[in-house]
């Protein structure tokens, strides 16, 4: 799950939790909103952790003493 998807899920969950007042038989919309917000926050934390750990492992090698490709 990308960071953008996580933010979208958090926003959608907040809309369902706080802005929607309709009722649907068989499902509680506010509960679905809370579930979406929780899933979005978990995805955001995992995405940020993977982004940060990926940058730490990256090694940068600069080779300056190479022969030119063409003479």
Residue-wise pLDDT tens digits, 1-24:
789 999 999 999 999 999 998 889
In a domain, 39, yes or no: yes
Residues in the chain: 71
| Euclidean distance between CA atoms 20 and 52, whole angstroms | 36
pLDDT above 60 for 27: yes
Residue 69 lies in a domain: no
Instruction: Classify residue 42: in a domain, yes or no.
Output: yes
CA–CA dist 30, 40 (Å, integer): 15
Report the number of distinct structural domains present in the chain: 1
Is residue 59 in a domain? no
**Would you state the structure tokens that stand for residue 28, as one six-digit string?**
């509680």
Domain of residue 8: give its range: 3-21+28-54
Report pLDDT digits (tens) over 45-63.
Answer: 999 998 888 766 556 666 6
Phi, psi of 19 (to 5 degrees): -110, -25
Q: Would you say residue 68 lies in a domain? A: no
């Amino acid at each position: 799950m990308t960071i953008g998807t996580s933010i979208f899920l958090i926003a959608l969950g907040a809309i369902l939790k706080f802005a929607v007042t309709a009722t649907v038989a068989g499902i509680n919309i506010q509960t679905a909103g809370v579930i979406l917000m929780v899933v979005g926050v978990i995805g955001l934390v995992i995405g940020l952790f993977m982004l940060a750990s990926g940058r730490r492992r990256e090694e940068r090698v600069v080779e300056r003493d190479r022969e030119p490709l063409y003479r």
